[in-house]
Amino acid sequence: MIHVTLDRTSAIPLIRQLYDGMRAQILSGVLRPGSRLPSSREMAGQLGVSRNVVVEAFEMLYSEGFTTARHGSGTFVAPGTTFPAAVAEKKRITLAKVSMGYESQAGVINFKPGTPDLREFPLRAWLQAVKAAYLHPADDSLGYGQPEGRRELRQAICDYVVSQRGVACDPDQIVITAGTTQAIGIACHLLLGERRDVILEDPITRDIQLIVKGEGGVIHPVTADDSGLVVEELPSGISPAFVYVTPSHQFPLGGTLAIQRRIALLEYVERTGACLIEDDYDSEFRFDGPALASLQSLAPDRVVYIGTFSKTLSPALRTGYLILPPALVGEGRGRKWHCDLHNETPTQLALAHFIATGGYLRHLGRMKRLYARKRRVLEQALAAHFGAAVRIIGSATGLHLAARFSGIVFTPELLAELEKKRVRVYPAEAHAIKPGRLDDIILIGYGNLSEAQIEQGIRILHRVINR
């Protein structure tokens, strides 16, 4: 007689309940190897269930090797199936709360830098593009693809960067990646060989510092000021693997690297045999003049160019790209394959369609006007509340600005006080490699806030600071 309790009110099917009950009895040793199980008819009668339920549960046990069937003489518990530890106590997984520090309370005016206006995502046009992607032959769009990504998307990106960013490029130099974040990891992997020294702008986003360190790079910080990398500080006496720069819009301080600094930087990498990584993350939105052509256009053989759709469309698409010097293309595709085979194909096809049919450029134009307006509202609110006590750093580009407040130190206590009043701003110091220089600067992202939220947030900032 086998006792299994079945709960007819449970959402777990009876077959599963019976299987679980018998399996537990076999593992615990209650049903010992060699013991004979009742016939399915007998057991069904005993439990008051249909015979099919018992037959299916028995089959599951048999197919996993818990039982053996001897023709004509019944079903027996198989040898070697006792393992009481597996059922000694009900195994419940308890997980301590894992905090990565990026939670934000609902209702907080979150001046997070780098998030585009998510409500303005061009949903209707995008859905049409996605539909077009799924109308591709299934073998082509739903099977395994190539690590470098879809030809259609690489061609569309190539046309875009050649015409808009002055990049020298052939579609075969492009590898589609899961955003800039993956692109930087791949570039580090390609460029960090015997040379391990890496020059980073200081400050630079914490993520990039972590990726470089994670790939075994040894970081040498070089100051970034209001105009980007201070080229006079580039170290002599080392042979860096690469210099990583955000020349269109230094992150986080906002400077745009002038041509004289660009040339000095290129002369430095030429002299030291280093490569350059150009992260062109939000150059599409320049409000105080035409965007400068890419650094890559000046030295295509030395520059790894990285672009992303995280700022222009949505970070949730996780789509960016590397444009590699020809000598690195093969290895770059190999590394992408190693990471995750390739980016998801339907999104690549949809994006290619969206760019090729003109939707992307139209969207950029509309968003540029929108962000210019938001930035103006933010600048006016800062001027109205803080007057000469605040200075905006860098060029008017992108989705955030960096502001220096004379006489204010953004301590954790001040930031916590702001959070209590439901406003979150971001200290530039959090991105510093050498600490202590940027305590009076905060980053104020405006991309994903309404004009009313921006005005209200700055009003609260002023109230808290002046308390």
Interface residues with ligand PLP (CB under 6 A) are: 114, 179-181, 205, 246, 251, 279, 281, 308, 310, 315, 320
Nearer to ligand PLP, 251 or 405 (CB): 251
Q: In terms of DSSP bridges, do strands 228-229 and 242-245 run parallel, antiparallel, or are they unpaired?
A: unpaired
Q: What's the closest the beta carbon of residue 307 comes to ligand PLP, in angstroms?
A: 9
Angle in degrees, CA 258, 371, 297, rounded to 5: 30
Strand order in the sheet with 36-37: 36-37, 74-77, 67-70
Nearer to ligand PLP, 44 or 187 (CB): 187
Nearer to ligand PLP, 200 or 461 (CB): 200
Q: What's the closest the beta carbon of residue 181 comes to ligand PLP, in angstroms?
A: 3
**Number of C-beta neighbours around residue 407 at 10 A:** 7
Q: What's the closest the beta carbon of residue 308 comes to ligand PLP, in angstroms?
A: 3
Q: What's the closest the beta carbon of residue 305 comes to ligand PLP, in angstroms?
A: 12
Closest residue by Cα to residue 241 from 209, 172, 194, 184: 194
Q: What's the closest the beta carbon of residue 117 comes to ligand PLP, in angstroms?
A: 15
Q: In terms of DSSP bridges, do strands 228-229 and 423-424 run parallel, antiparallel, or are they unpaired?
A: unpaired
Neighbouring C-alpha atoms within 13 Å toward the C-beta of 132: 17
Joined together, the tokens standing for residue 4 give 């299994």
Nearer to ligand PLP, 374 or 431 (CB): 431
Q: What's the closest the beta carbon of residue 13 comes to ligand PLP, in angstroms?
A: 43
Closest residue by Cα to residue 199 from 223, 181, 175: 223
Nearer to ligand PLP, 281 or 354 (CB): 281
Helix, strand counts (H, E) of the chain: 14, 17
**Number of C-beta neighbours around residue 386 at 10 A:** 19
Joined together, the tokens standing for residue 253 give 């301080």
**Number of C-beta neighbours around residue 371 at 10 A:** 24
Nearer to ligand PLP, 249 or 375 (CB): 249
**Number of C-beta neighbours around residue 291 at 10 A:** 17
Q: What's the closest the beta carbon of residue 201 comes to ligand PLP, in angstroms?
A: 9
Q: What's the closest the beta carbon of residue 397 comes to ligand PLP, in angstroms?
A: 12
Nearer to ligand PLP, 147 or 307 (CB): 307
Nearer to ligand PLP, 279 or 440 (CB): 279
> Which parts of 294-448 fold into alpha helices (H)?
329-340, 345-356, 359-386, 412-420
> Which parts of 205-284 fold into alpha helices (H)?
206-214, 259-272
Q: What's the closest the beta carbon of residue 216 comes to ligand PLP, in angstroms?
A: 21
Q: What is the DSSP letter of 49?
A: S
Nearer to ligand PLP, 56 or 284 (CB): 284
Under 8 Å between Cβ of 186 and 336 = yes
Beta strand spans in 172-302 (E) = 174-177, 197-202, 218-225, 228-229, 242-245, 275-279
Nearer to ligand PLP, 251 or 386 (CB): 251
Total residues belonging to the chain: 467
Q: What's the closest the beta carbon of residue 177 comes to ligand PLP, in angstroms?
A: 8
What amino acid occupies position 311?
Answer: K
Under 8 Å between Cβ of 244 and 254 = no
Nearer to ligand PLP, 67 or 314 (CB): 314
In angstroms, the CA 46 to CA 346 distance is 53
Under 8 Å between Cβ of 215 and 192 = yes
Task: Give the CB-nearest residue to ligand PLP.
Answer: 179
Nearer to ligand PLP, 247 or 457 (CB): 247
Joined together, the tokens standing for residue 30 give 């209650």
Q: What's the closest the beta carbon of residue 279 comes to ligand PLP, in angstroms?
A: 5
3-state secondary structure of 107: coil
Closest residue by Cα to residue 21 from 53, 50, 52, 69: 53
Task: Give the residues across from 37 on adjacent strands.
Answer: 75
